[in-house]
Amino acid sequence: MSRRRLRVFVDAEVLVVPHFSGIGHYTLELLRALDALLEGRDDVAVELGAFVKQRRKLRGYGFRNLKVRLSPIPVQVSQRLKMRNLQFPLDLIFGKRVYFFPNFSSWPTAFSNSVSVVYDLSFELFPQFAEPANRAFLSSQVRKTAMRSAAVVTISENSRREILEFYGVPVERVPIIYPGVDQSQFFRWPQPAVEDVKRRYGIRGKYILFVGNLEPRKNLKNLLLAYESLDPATRQEYSLLLVGARGWLDGEIMESIERLRTSGNLVQQPDGYVTDADRPALYSGASLFVYPSLYEGFGIPPVEAMACGVPTITSDNSSLPEAVGAAALTVDANSVDELATAMRTVLGDEELRDEMVRKGFAQADKFSWHRGAQQLLDIFVEVGAVSERQRANHRYSTQRPTRSEADA
């Protein structure tokens, strides 16, 4: 007997929206690795749902084994339906299959099971760092998503604990798929390549690097204050390079940036823009990477930095100790003095830096997109099998016995 083909529909909105976020990167890299896993297989069919006008962008990613399925629902309409709680069962359009929702919120389904990704609960735990409308939307949507999904994928042990506590979801329904690091890109680049990228961005000399959106949750305020507290000779030797787009509530951050910019010690690209292709070179050229975030669902930039051979300092909160292990220095994000002391310590101790680099390479090796894609495929298979058993049980329970069977 031939095995039933597993069919998966992916809500690919996050790949075609104008602002490509960290969630977009996570989804894209996971799907690229899944695409490679499916090479030569005919027992799994994965479709990426996209509105007609976005199909060209979706096809531009070059997937070989994930097919584009045109959706009649524009992204803007989809968002409005979610905000107004007017979603209809998505499988009434696309049929029975496993549905994958990689961006916090899901659609209901009438006769199919779904897998969703909830990255963290920062909107619940730190509402002051979220835009009010987005916070209200997520508070409403994520609870429903957690309740109706057969599996709620998350990205760290810390996030899983929060989901279990906040929504009461059984632990077996909350698997972890860690973000990966593409080590064909994120490795220690040779110095000539680093210097070429630095030249193109107008970066000179040694620098301390931060990568992330310029928003309160990333704790740029304390990073800037810690950097300012370093002695003038250190700041003269090491500039502070900020790579990241402006975020929400960034007024106070921008004031501090302008103050430091006038001293000539701070480097920032227009709009914070650096191409994905150039980011590994800028990591590789850094003397130190500092990421003092107040909260992270995982925190991939420190792991990327370690993969590029950069000693790293990050916070001791949320999932960050889990991400960096024993390879980085962790500090109290609320203590400017502690952060500044850690920066002085690492910059002043070559032996410590060498040890951190060695440990960093080993820690970064733990995070693989290929491994994550295999986990995701296993989850699809398991959820699909549950769906088939449910359908078989439903058929059995709804069969009426014949008269002779009833009389027997």
The yes or no reply on domain 6-180+368-398 and CATH 3.40.50.2000 is yes
Contact 70, 51 (CB under 8 A): yes
Q: What is the DSSP string of 88-153?
A: --THHHH-SSEEEE-SS-----SS--EEEE----HHHH-GGGS-HHHHHHHHHHHHHHHHH-SEEE
Same CATH fold, 191-364 and 6-180+368-398? yes
Angle at 8 between CA 118 and CA 396, to 5 degrees: 105
Q: Which of 8, 267, 297 is nearest to 129 (CA)?
A: 297
Angle at 260 between CA 254 and CA 266, to 5 degrees: 95
Q: Which amino acid is at 53?
A: K
Q: Which amino acid is at 359?
A: K
Residue with tokens 């310029």: 214
Sign of CA dihedral 70, 75, 77, 80: positive
Contact 218, 185 (CB under 8 A): no
Q: What is the pLDDT of residue 246?
A: 56
Q: What is the pLDDT of residue 275?
A: 85
Q: What is the pLDDT of residue 408?
A: 37
Two structure tokens written together for 82: 């979610």
Q: How far is CA 62 from CA 97, 192, 305, 308, 360, in A?
A: 24, 31, 27, 26, 32
Residue 372 phi, psi dihedral angles, 5° rounding: -65, -40
Determine the 3-state secondary structure of 18 from DSSP.
coil
One pLDDT digit (tens) per residue for the chain, 408 residues: 345 789 999 999 899 887 777 899 999 999 999 999 999 999 999 999 988 778 888 889 999 999 999 888 887 888 788 888 888 999 999 999 999 999 999 999 999 999 999 999 999 998 887 788 888 889 989 999 999 999 999 999 999 999 999 999 999 999 999 999 999 999 999 999 999 999 998 898 999 999 987 778 889 889 989 998 999 999 999 999 988 765 555 556 666 666 666 665 766 665 557 888 999 999 999 999 999 999 999 999 999 999 999 999 999 999 999 999 999 999 999 999 999 999 999 999 999 999 999 999 999 999 999 999 999 999 999 999 875 665 545 444 444 444 444 443
> Domain 191-364, what fold?
Rossmann fold (3.40.50)
Two structure tokens written together for 231: 């002695």
Contact 129, 294 (CB under 8 A): yes
Q: What is the pLDDT of residue 109?
A: 95
Length of the chain: 408
Helix, strand, coil % in the chain, rounded to nearest 5: 50, 15, 35
Q: Which amino acid is at 158?
A: N
Sign of CA dihedral 299, 305, 306, 307: positive
Using CB atoms within 10 Å of the CB of residue 76, give its burial: 0 to 12 exposed, 13 to 18 middle, 19+ buried.
Answer: exposed
- In b/e form, how buried is each residue of 274-295, taking b as 16+ CB within 10 angstroms? beeebbbbbbbbbbbbbbbbbb
Edge-first strand order for the sheet with 266-268 is 266-268, 238-243, 206-211, 288-291, 312-315, 329-331
Two structure tokens written together for 406: 């009833």
Q: Which of 141, 93, 86, 153 is nearest to 117 (CA)?
A: 153
Contact 305, 312 (CB under 8 A): yes
Pairing of strands 238-243, 206-211: parallel
Q: What is the pLDDT of residue 192?
A: 97
Q: What ranges do the domains of the chain cover?
A: 6-180+368-398, 191-364
Q: Name, in order, each residue with C-beta under 8 angstroms of 298's C-beta and a sequence gap of 6 or more.
A: 119, 120, 155, 156, 159, 178, 179, 319, 322, 323
Predicted TM-score (pTM) of the model is: 0.87
